[in-house]
Amino acid sequence: MTEQTRQNEEVRRLSLIAEKTVNAVLITDMDGKVEWVNEAFTRMTGFEQEEILGKRSRYVLHGVGTDSTIRAYKESQMSQQQPSIASY
């Protein structure tokens, strides 16, 4: 198996996991604009993919009731270009 084949297989497996997990998954670009969400995200939030794609995640997911600790954590992770994991 070539290195490229191995990497392609790994990407395929990870994609399947992200798509099928019961956890909400949201992927943004470097500017925080939503590029992809999985079915669990749409089920948990009520947003359809078409409604949220291209929008900045913080404007969609942070409201007046958002815990300030979670908000600070997510903004810190985003500024460091690191993934953020938070429970709501």
**Looking at the predicted structure, is the pLDDT value of residue 70 above 80?**
no
The encoded tokens of residue 62 equal 């942070």
The encoded tokens of residue 52 equal 């949220």
Give the pTM: 0.67
- For the segment 35-47, the average pLDDT, to the nearest whole number, is 88
Q: How long, in residues, is the chain? A: 88
The encoded tokens of residue 1 equal 């198996």
Mean confidence (pLDDT) of the chain? 82
